[in-house]
Structure formats: C-alpha cells, structure tokens
Structure 1
Amino acid sequence: MGNWLSGWSSDGSSGYSSGWSSGGSSGVPSGPAHKPEESTQANLQPNEKCLKQIGVTSVPSHKLEEYIQANLKPCEESLKQIDQEVDVICCLLLIKEFPVTRVAKGGSYGRETVLRGCSDGTLVLFMGDFQKFQDQKKYQDKLLDLIEQLLKSQERYKKSVKRGDTLIVQVSKPGQNILLQLLPAFDPLTNHRPPLQAAYLDLKKSMDAVRASPGEFSDCFTTLQWQFFKKYPRKLKDLILLVKHWYQQCQEKWKIPPPQPLLYALELLTVYAWEQGCQAEDFDMAQGVRTVLQLISQQTKLCVYWTVNYNFEDETIRNNLLYQLNSPRPVILDPTDPTNNVGKDAEFWQLLAEEAQDWLRSRSLNVSPAPYWEVLPMPLFITPSHLLDKFISDFLQPNKVFLKQIKEAVNIICSFLKEKCFQNSGTKVLKIIKGGSTAKGTALKQGSDADIVLFLSSLESYDSLQDKRCWFVQEIKEQLEAYKQALEVEVEFEKSKWKAPRVLSFTLKSKSLDESVEFDVLPACDTLGQLRSDSTSRTSRTKAYKKLIELYTSQDIPKGGEFSVCFTELQRNFIETRPTKLKGLIRLVKHWYKQYERKMKPKASLPPKYALELLTVYAWEHGSGTDDFETAEGFRTVLDLVIKYRQLCIFWTVNYNFEEEYIRMFLLTQIQKKRPVILDPADPTGDVGGGDRWCWHLLAEEAKEWLSSPCFQVGEKNPVQPWKVPVVQTPGSCGAQIYPTVGGVY
C-alpha cells in the first residue's frame, strides 16, 4: 500500500510516483492514513488512542463505528478547505483559454469516500472541442501539456503539479492530502438523458473503432458516478471507509501493488451488499462488514451489476452486458460504464478472500450468533437456464447444519411452551404444530424463520379464538420474558403494528446457534382434532368448515383467512408431501419474489408469498406433474401466470369440495369474486389471490421484464416455453357435477 503515495510528502515537495492509471472510475488506491497532528492526538480520549493503535481486524465488533470516527473519517474542516481549493482550480481552468465546458469531480474525492490522511480524486475536464470519444484518445496528451503549463504559471501550484503518465495536482490541508488526477474528456451526456442508450451505443462503436480497452472511456461518465454515490447514506460510506482501510492493511501485508481498479470494486461491492441486504440508513456496522467479507470469500461466484444507467432493453447493449456477465468470476461492472469490469484479476481476489476469511474467523468478528445480511454473490437474473438447479442448490437450499440448528431452536421454544408457559394456569397445550417454510421443506438458505402453532384447551371455538388470542399472545410474551434467563437464550420481541395482535413475533439467539432465528407463535383452537384419512376425520373436517363459513358469512369478514391458523397442519401437508424438485422451484420463486420486494420503491402491498407458493404448485400439477422436470420451464410458467393475474381462478378440492351443499354454495360464491382468485387449499375462506386487495400489477410488470432473462434462453435464439396451464379452473374441471342456477352462471 505505502508505495503508491510514498513519492509525496505532506508539504508536496517530494517527487511523484508514476504508478497511477488514467480513469477516475477505476478508483486509484488511496494511500496510508497520515498521522494526525500532535494537537489532534492530544485531544483524543484514552479509549480513542487505544483504538488508533490496533489493526482493524483486532477491533471488537461493537467498537467498529468508534474506530471509524477515531481513525478513518477525515476532518470536516480540512475537507471544506480542500473543496475551496478545488473550486479555485476549476475556476482557473474554466475562465482561461481552454474550451472546458464543465468539470466533474470523481475518484474517492467525488464519491465522498475519502480516507483520513492521503486519498485520491479526479477532476474530469469536459472539452467543448471534443465531438466524439476518439477525440479524447487523440488529443488528451497535448491538452495535458497545456494544462500543466497553465497551472505551473501560478505560484501556488508550481510545486504541487506533477506530470508522469498523467497530470496530478496535490491539494494539502492540515491532516489531509488529496491527489487529484486531471483528465480532459469527451462529454457524452450533453445531448443525452437517461436511459442514455444513444451514449452507450456511441461508446461501443467508438471502442471498436479505436480498439480501446474495456473501461478506457469510463471517466466520460464521472457525472453519473457522482450521482450514483450521492444518494447513499453517510453510514454506508463509513462502511466503505472501513472496507477500504482493511484493504490497505492487506496491501501492506502483501508488499506488492494490486490492480488499481480493485479499490473501486470493493466500494461497489459494499454498496451492493447494503442494497441487497439492508437499505436502512442506520444499521449494525459489524453486520455490514461480515456481509462484505462473506461476498469476498465467495469471489469465484461474484457477479455484480446495476441497471440504473444501462439495461437489457437495447439488443446491442444487452449483448455486451451478457458477454461481460458471462466472463470469468469475479465480475463487478461499473454502474456507469457497461464495458468496465472492475472486478478483474482472480489472483488478487484469491488473496483478498483468504484475508476476508481470516477476519471472519477472528475473535473480534466471530461472536455467536454472528448475523450478516442476506445477500447472494450473483443475481438470479443472469443465471443461464441450464444452471438454475445449481443456483438453487448453491444459494437457496439450506444445508444440514442450518436445518439442525433450526430444529434445536424450535425444540427450545416448544419445550418452554409445553412445560413452562402455562404450568400455573388451567390452560393445557393440546398439541403443537410446526408450520411455515421450515416445516414445509421450502425454507431458504438465508433468513431463518419458524412458525409454531399452539392449540390450547381454553380456545374451544373460532369465537373464543377471536376473543382471547390477544390475551394469550401477551401471556406467552410475559412468560417467555420471565423464563428466558433459565432457557439461556436472548429474545428480542418485534413490536406489533396491531392493537390486538394474533401472533407473537420474536428473534431467538442462543450460544448453540450460529445465527438468530425468527419465530412466530400463534394461538389456535383445535377444530380438526386428530387428522386421519378415515370417514370420521372427513366428517369432522366438514363440520369445522361449515362452522367457519357460518361465522365468516354472518360477521361479514371481508378479507377471509381469519382463522387459517387452525388449519396449519393441512397447509403444511399440502406442500410437505410434494417432490423435492418442486420444493426447489418454490424456493426459486420465493427468492425472485423477495428480491423484487427488497428493491421495490416506493413500498407497496404485494400479494403474500403463500400465493406464489400455491401458484407454483398449480403450475407444476397442470403443466408437468413429474418428479423430474425442467426448472426453467416451471419458473417461466409461474411468471406467465403472474402476468395473467387478471384471469386467475385457482382452487383445490383435497380438503373441501362441492359435495356438501352448504360448502358448495359458498365455494361458488368465492370463485366468482374479482380475480385473481387463489383459494387456500386448507381454508375455503382464504382467498390469497385477493382481487384488488394487493398490487399484483407491480409483480406482473416485474415478471414481464424477466422474460428477457438468460434464465429463459436455450442457446442464443431459443426461448424457454412455459407449460400449457389453464388460468381458470371450474368445478367441472375438478370433476364436480354442478348445474346452472336459475340466475346464471352455474
């Protein structure tokens, strides 16, 4: 690390080290943090002095923010003075005889990710005489000579301007140096506005014409880079400082200069981690660091890109993007230049991955549990169709350790509920049913959650459940709060947005778990009794449904599904018995849903994930029905059904059907509601399609965009075809003999 900036002294009097590359977007590596002035050291508190004396990998996780403030963030007053000095330089270049139309600030300085001490920056000078990218390549050196002469004619810049392969101006203030690289450039944005397709098409043609290297014209898009970073919160930029500082310490250890774009790549990777896994302005710094380190550890799978400035709509740009995204890993594309993969050089990434694993295993970060954000090293969108099964197994399928730990956490809570929670009351626990994705076998690898449904003797009917469940939720919370010391667990309760909550949500942490587990505990009444396949059980189920429908219709409950918790066992069995590969497809669809939910702004009310699970089962039942099928075809079919949401009418008759007249009349009413209609196979009142209740149109728009994904391409020009699946079910299609009524449809 040190050799990059060792040619400069704090007063700018020493020579220039010529290891810099052109290109503000590439992110010239920052130098070592200069030691603060003695007066600054004297003002530090004892704890701050201690933090400054240790390497970042030894800093306790709860002290990371303090470490950033004490060691990494520049003095604001020094930065203000540097800003003023840079503005003077800009004015000098704008008012003289040079055809500079505007100046853009780039590098760490422009991105506001400057480390204390010595850091990099760029001033991109957009030249009015440049009419195309080729002009920049042709005339840049001549202009740099003229600019150097101009600056050296000013007394204040005689010693601070250095010219090697590039032109560097050193701007120094107490405790802070910025080495500004000056770059005359073509301005492709003058006549173009987002989506900037014309500018990027010109870029591709020009690069082909002059055989330019990938990213050679990245500086032309410095304004877009500034806009890209400007919107992110200060705390994220503090996390970037921490990652960059760690990277510098790695450089010192290696004693060899790494590829220069790597620093910018790490900044982008940190942004990606935060966008995909957090998006909160205030977050736990240790979680952020762990997430970035986890991604670096998976460098052979890294593929990161953005579509804020370019996308897959234009064929030429799409082909270039797909070429880049199919390059050897790691791939980290500059969000402002689709030709610029700043993640190249596998050798250094391997070194960095080893350093990342060492820090993750260190005592400072390796606390139990050690949470990190849910972020995959590559997006689903660019996964080829033939690799979808591998994507599921690599990134979505939980491993045995994960499942074992979930089981242990569930057992802790179940034992407490059975043996401790109601021991001093007349209430008995009749049975406990484990529900949710974990019980169904469709849990995702990241994001541990478990549902526990508690059937209580004091809840004898739907009415009593409606009246008393809020009290039981509060009672369970109080008992768990009292007993958690004996259980040796840490419990964090989630604040409910409802005045009368139906569920107790909390996060469980314990010494036996590597990560926390999110729980939902739901009181329920035992309306079904012991589930069996004989006629007695079917009769009991029919009675339960009749009572449910009577209550639903008499109280005019518009949303339905009010008491679906009582049918959790049926919901679980409906999914649990399905083939393993279908459960993998459900995981894939859930991951797709969660990715869209995370990026969606402004937030809106999307359909429940359960609706997508049922839609996936329906697509498989009517389109394949085999244990082995093409995952891409199944995925494509589900998205096709989402796109056709206005037509959907889907139901099952495995637990209820049209045989009993009272239930039949209710079902006929349900399936004539505004579409989409997707009836819960365990609860006839639960329409998870919901008509206009949820924003299906947003999900449909996302599904349409995904039709251009490599997920649905076989070769270059062979799109994956969806299964032929009907969008509407009728009683007749299920074998029911329904005759038209006097008034109309049936």
Structure 2
Amino acid sequence: MDVSLVPAFDAMGSQMSQTSTGQLGAGVQPKPQVYSSLIRSSSRGGEHAACFTELRRNFVNSRPAKLKNLILLVKHWYRHVVAQNKEEEPAGASLPPAYALELLTIFAWEQGCGKDRFNMAQGLRTVLGLVQKHQQLCVYWTVNYGIEDHDMKTHLLGQLRKPRPLVLDPADPTWNVGQGSWELLAQEAAALESQACLMNADGTPVQPWDVMPALLHQTPAGDLDKFIAELLQPNRQFLAQVNKAVNTICSFLRENCFRGSPIKVLKVVKGGSLAKGTALRGCSDADIVVFLSCFSHFSDQGSRRAEIISEIRAQLEACQQEQQFEVKFELSKWENPRVLHFSLTSQTMLGQSVDFDVLPAYDALGQLVPGSRPNPQVYADLIHSYSNTGEFSTCFTELQRDFIATRPTKLKSLIRLVKHWHRQCNKVPKGRGPLPPQHGLELLTVYAWEQGSRDSQFSMATGFRTVLELVTQYRQLCVYWTVNYSTEDETVRDFLKLQLQKPRPIILDPADPTGNLGHNARWDLLAKEAVACMAALCCTGRDGAPIPPWPVKAAV
C-alpha cells in the first residue's frame, strides 16, 4: 500500500464536531464561504483537493458494505486494464484516475439500485455501460456544496458548460476527476461484457440497472435539447429495424389470422409511443390493434375473446418461425385470455427494446378519412355502451395516434422529456396509489404548447417549466378538445357537460370522451416532484433566475 504524506490548509477547521478528536464529523456540510474562498483561490482544478480529504473520506465511508465491495471490484478491473496496457498507452494519453471510477460506481448504485443488497454482476455491468458512454457523462453531487450560494452556482454552471466527461469531486467542485483518456477503458469495458462473469446461467447477458450518464435535474436549461437528442431519442437504426419487423408482423396477421373462418381481419393498426413518434430510448411501449368483423358493437368485445387471443397467438408463433427479423422477437410465456404481449429487442444494442400489446377490437370508426371527424353516432353509441372510464379506448387508437403524430418534431421532443421526467418520478418511493398516467402528461404537454406557444421552434426549458407549473395546479386542471367529438350532437353535448362538472383534475382523451386521464391518481405526489424540479438547474436561467413559464391557464 502506497501512503502519501501531504501538508494542507485546514479549510474546515472551524466546523470540527465538538465531540470528535479533531476530525470532521459525518454529515457536517461546509459553510458556503469555504467554497467561495476556494473558487477565488484556485487557478487549476483540484489544486487544493487535499484540504477536503475528510469530506471525501466520509462520502465513501457512509456507503453499504456491498457497495464498497463493488467499488473494490471496479478498481481491480481498472488496475488490470492499466497493467495490461502499460506498454501500449499513447504518449500524453493518461487514463482518468481510479477515483473517477469509484465515484461512477457510487453514482450507478444511487441511481439504479440504492439498496444494501443487490446483484453484483448487475452493478458491474452498469458501471461498464457508463464507462462506454463517457462522452455523455455528467456526474456531480450537492451534498457538500449547493446552488443556493451565488458564487457556487455561477461556478457550477461554468463547470457544466465544459466538455464531457464531467465527474466532479463531491468534496471539491473545482476538480473534474473525469479528465483523461477514456477510450481504452471503454474498449476494455465492452470486451468484458461478453465474458462469463457478466452472463446468466442460460447464456443471456446480465441486464444493467436503468441508469443514464446524466440526470435531468442536474442539466442546465440551455442544454435540454442536447439532453433529449443524446439520451432520450431512440437509436435510429434500432427504430428502423423495429418498424420493419412491426410491418411484417401486421401484414402476417392481416393475411393469416382466421383463414378459412367467417371472421375477417378488417385492419391492423399500430398505436402507442412508437406510432406517435414519442418513444424513449431504452424500453418503450406500443400497441398493435387487430380490428375484427365478428365485433359489431362495443359491447361485443368481451365475447369470444379467449378464442380470438388464442388464434392471434398461434399466428404470431407461426410468424416467429417463418419470418426473418433483425431484432429478437419474443412472445410472452404468460398466457392472458384478454391481451397478448411480445417484445422486440435489439440483437446488438443492450437495453434497447419495445414491448407490445396485441389487442382485438371493434372497428367503430371504419375507414377514416384524414382530417374528418367520426360520425357523431359513433360517440352516441359509445356513451350508451360504456361502464368504466376509457373502457373502449382501444377502438379509437387511430385517432389517439394521429392527435400526437401530426405535431411538430420539437413538441414531440418536449413530450419525450416530460415522459422521461414522469418515469424518473415513478422510481421515487411514494405513498399508496399510482401516479397520473403517462398519456395524461402527454396530453397536458400538447395543451401547454397549444395555449402558450404554437411555434414549431420554442425554448425547451420554457415548455418544460410550463408543464411542471400545470402539474402543480392539478386542482384546477380542466383540459379537453373537440377535434373529434363536438357539442353539435345532443347526446355528446349532454355527456360532455356531465364530464366537465366532475371534480378536477380533468384531462379528457381527445379521441374518447369517456376517458378522463386525470381521474383517480396521486397528482399530489407528482406535484411535489414538479416543485422540486422547477427549483433545479433544468429550470434555471444562466443568471440564476427561474425560467418563466408560458402564460397558460389551468382550465380551457
């Protein structure tokens, strides 16, 4: 073991715990003046890092024993890489310090797991994945320094504008420990992923935790477009492969289902985020709706469902055997008599997949003419038939898809950002009851843009800030559209009046007036997360002032 003896200024001396033996107690945060003085005194990053040794020690010492074991494993791998490549290392291309990997391991655990007990292989694979994404790495903590102090906030924003990778020392904000050449580490990380230590017993790769190389709330407002483009938009090659596979599957179902039977497949429609153009990188969702001639009314859809699902499953299994796909096509082993699931997963990109629901439905709309409204009788029949909110929304998949798919590209990017935020909120431990559905947030985002901007080019931070503001005003929310159903028909008009008299929040599905996406959800918990996000860097201007939202009312 190498030991260095370093003389240092006691910057933290006045904050020593009274009960300690001259050492800084755990949980003690330095006074802002300490960091203000540091920022003014430093000419190069990490110049005075030795002064904050105790904070650095406490940051790691407080972690669970198993996380420390994961750190040891990562450092062992790092040493092996250094030893193996000592002779081949190009002149002037020094690796980042082992401490950077130590911090990256803590970040991976905090964001992906946070539990004392976890799968060691999963943890290691997650760290290796982050190493390979070093060009997007933006990792820092505010346990010792925060953005409340003006000098500290200005310095931190300056650091965040620098090229990636950025891994700030949690004890010394002037020290970016991520500096160095990561390419060799990334190559070795990719090579290790194919080894037995990161494979399951059945030969499949161990799945990493869901951790991104940068966090939304730590991203400066001016960088949100870049955040979306680099981290949220799906890989184009994977999207092309999935769309090609889905087209093949839809054609196969259309041509082969119920062959020789009186039942006919009228049409097969793609829905969900994949069809709308708002899919997120990683795991996304989609629907394939099979409209059948055996259903002549909304209420018919409950009959013969098990038989129909069984036939569709048989055809999907045949499609799986007969067709060649560039993606892995996997049917769910769990047989549900009401719905069918399958997934399409990338063969080459870890963690890239789309989960599909295949749903039989009544063809209430017939052949839709683009730009025209459905026959009012469709909605009159729906209103007389439904018992539960959104019960027959599957029948209106085309309208739901087109309502979003026709929007400007940048608005779809904002929808992606809001969906990502919603997904992160779902990871936070919460009380009983679900958060509002993602589709409700999607519609709220469209409403915010329609009422506040309507420009195809707008400030992403302003749009995001507006949606968060509306979430906090959930008790007043009343949002609906009449693009597909209108008040001209008496049945629809009377029904709409009743819907709009119900307790807020109200977000009516523009395709299905029986579907209230604001109903029966924990908006209070989501509002709490929105308040926290509005105070973060992603909603803060360069001058440190909050980004103002668009002037949008909570009710139409």
How far apart in 1 are the matches of 2:120 and 2:255?
A: 36
Q: Aligned letter for 1:243?
A: V
Does the residue aligned with 2:514 lie in a helix, a strand or coil?
Answer: strand
Structure 1: how far apart are the matches of 2:541 and 2:287?
39
Question: Which of 409, 414, 423 in structure 2 is aligned with 1:585?
Answer: 414
Is the 2:275–2:401 contact (alpha carbons within 8 Å) kept by the matching residues of 1?
yes
Specify which of 653, 658, 663 is matched with residue 492 of structure 2: 663
- 1:461 aligned onto 2:297: yes
Separation (CA, whole Å) in 1 of partners of 2:307 and 2:68: 45
* Distance verdict in 2 for CA 1:202–1:594, change over 3 Å: same
Give the equivalent residue in structure 2 for 1:14. Answer: none
**Cα drift, residue 648 of structure 1:** 0.7
Question: For 1:507, what is the secondary structure of its paired residue?
Answer: strand
Q: Which residue of 2 aligns with 1:119?
A: none
- Partner Cα separation in structure 1 for residue 417 and residue 329 of structure 2: 32
545, 558, 568: which is aligned to 2:379? 545
The letter of the residue matching 1:491 is: E
Q: Shift in Å at residue 272 of structure 1?
A: 2.8
Deviation at 1:185, TM superposition (A): 5.6
1:566-645 alignment runs, 5 A limit: 566-601=395-430, 604-645=433-474
Distance 1:329 1:228 in 2: 27
- In structure 2, what is the equivalent of residue 708 of structure 1? 535
The answer for the alignment partner of 2:279 in structure 1 is 443
Distance change in 2, residues 1:339/1:434 (3 Å)? same
**Structure 2 vs 1, CA of residues 314 and 599 (structure 1 numbering), >3 Å: closer, same or farther?**
farther
Distance verdict in 2 for CA 1:716–1:568, change over 3 Å: same
Specify the structure having the higher radius of gyration (Cα).
1
2:231 counterpart (380, 395, 399): 395
**1:209-608 equivalent positions in 2, closer than 5 A:** 213-214=48-49, 216-220=51-55, 222-230=57-65, 234=66, 240-255=71-86, 262-277=97-112, 285=121, 289-306=124-141, 311-313=146-148, 318=153, 321-322=156-157, 324-326=159-161, 328-334=163-169, 337=171, 339=173, 341=175, 343-347=177-181, 349-359=182-192, 373-423=209-259, 425-469=261-305, 471-477=307-313, 480-481=316-317, 484-487=320-323, 490-493=329-332, 495=334, 502-509=338-345, 515-532=352-369, 538=373, 541-552=375-386, 555=387, 557=388, 560-601=389-430, 604-608=433-437
Check conservation: 2:160, 2:220, Cα contact below 8 A.
no
Residue 307 of structure 1 and its aligned partner are, at CA, apart by 5.0
The alignment partner of 1:506 has SS state of: strand
Structure 1 residue 133 and structure 2 residue 6: aligned?
no
Does the 8 Å CA contact 2:422/2:438 hold for their aligned counterparts?
yes
* Structure 2 counterpart of 1:624, one-letter code: S
Structure 1 residues 136, 678: CA separation in 2 closer, same or farther (over 3 Å shift)?
A: closer
Q: Deviations over 1:282-333 (max 9, x none)?
A: 6593x65554333223323311134567654565665565455445533324
Residue type of the alignment partner of 2:247: N
For the 8 Å contact 1:330–1:343, the answer to whether it is kept is no
Among the aligned pairs, what percent are the same residue?
47
Aligned CA distance change for structure 1 residues 237 and 420 (closer, same or farther; 3 Å): farther
RMSD: 3.9
The answer to whether the 8 A contact 1:410-1:450 is kept is no
Cα distance per residue 1:335-390 (max 9 Å; x no partner): 5x36475634323x344234335556889989999965543321222333332222
Q: Which amino acid is 1:352 matched to?
A: L
Query: C-alpha separation between the residues in 2 aligned to 1:22 and 1:474?
Result: 72
Aligned residues: 536
Q: Distance in 1 between matches of 2:192 and 2:354?
A: 24
Deviations 1:472-519 (A, max 9, x none): 3455345545764445655252758xxx76432232347698744321
Conserved 8 A contact 1:135-1:186: no
* Pair 722,550 (structure 1): closer, same or farther in 2 beyond 3 Å: same
Residue by residue over 1:518-573, the C-alpha shift from the partner in whole angstroms, topping out at 9 and shown as x without a partner, is 21212211111110158xx74x5311211111123xx4x3xx01111110000001
Q: 1:225 to 1:484 in 2, by over 3 A?
A: same
In structure 2, the partner of 1:698 is 525
Counterpart residue identity of residue 414, structure 1: C
How far apart, in 2, do the equivalents of 1:723 and 1:445 lie? 28
Q: Counterparts of 1:412 and 1:364 in 2: how far apart (Å)? A: 37
| Residue 239 of structure 1, CA deviation | 5.2
Q: Equivalent residue of 1:430, what SS? A: strand
Work out the CA distance in 1 between the residues paired with 2:15 and 2:439.
55
CA displacement at 1:442 relative to structure 2: 1.0
Matches of 1:457 and 1:334, distance apart in 2: 64
Alignment of 1:174-189 (within 5 A): 186-189=23-26
User: Aligned pair in 2 of structure 1 residues 136, 727: CA closer, same or farther (>3 Å)?
Assistant: closer
* 1:379-421 C-alpha deviation (Å, 9 max, x unpaired): 2223333322222222222343122111133134324423445
Aligned counterpart, 1:204: 35
Shift of 1:609: 0.9
* TM-score between the two structures when normalised by the length of structure 1: 0.63
String of CA shifts for 1:636-667, please: whole Å, max 9, x gaps: 11111111111110100000011111111110
State the match for 1:90 in structure 2.
none
**Residues 617, 524 of structure 1: CA spacing in aligned structure 2 closer, same or farther, 3 A cutoff?**
same
Separation in 1, partners of 2:531, 2:439: 21
Higher relative contact order (CA 8 A, sep 6+): 2
1:387 to 1:135, Cα distance in 2 relative to 1, 3 A? closer
**Partner of 1:561: helix, strand, or coil?**
coil
SS at match of 1:450: strand
Partners of 2:207 and 2:123 lie apart in 1 by: 9
Report the CA distance shift for 1:313/1:714 in structure 2 as closer, same or farther (over 3 A).
closer
1:52-67 alignment runs, 5 A limit: none
CA contact (8 A) 1:265 1:343 kept: yes
Maintained 8 Å contact 2:286/2:356: yes
- TM normalised by structure 2 equals 0.83
CA distance in 2, matches of 1:487, 1:633: 46
- Structure 2 distance, partners of 1:517, 1:416, is 19
Moved more, 400-409 or 671-680: 400-409
Contact 1:243 1:289 in 2 (8 A): yes
User: What residue ranges of structure 1 are gaps of 5+ in the alignment?
Assistant: 6-16, 24-129, 138-182, 730-746
Cα–Cα, structure 1 residues 202 and 358, in superposed 2: closer, same or farther, change >3 Å?
A: same
Query: What SS does the aligned partner of 1:704 have?
Result: helix
Distance 2:195 2:118 in 1: 25
Q: Say which SS state the counterpart of residue 453 (structure 1) adopts.
A: strand
Q: What residue is the counterpart of 1:728 in the other structure?
A: 555
**Amino acid paired to 2:382:** L
Going from structure 1 to structure 2, the CA distance change for 1:206 and 1:413 (only over 3 Å counts) comes to: same
**Partner letter of residue 250 of structure 1?**
V
State whether residues 477 and 555 of structure 2, in contact with CA within 8 Å, keep that contact through their aligned partners in structure 1.
yes
1:532 corresponds to which letter in structure 2? V
Change (3 A) 1:661 1:478: same
Q: Aligned partners of 2:555 and 2:501: how far apart in 1?
A: 11
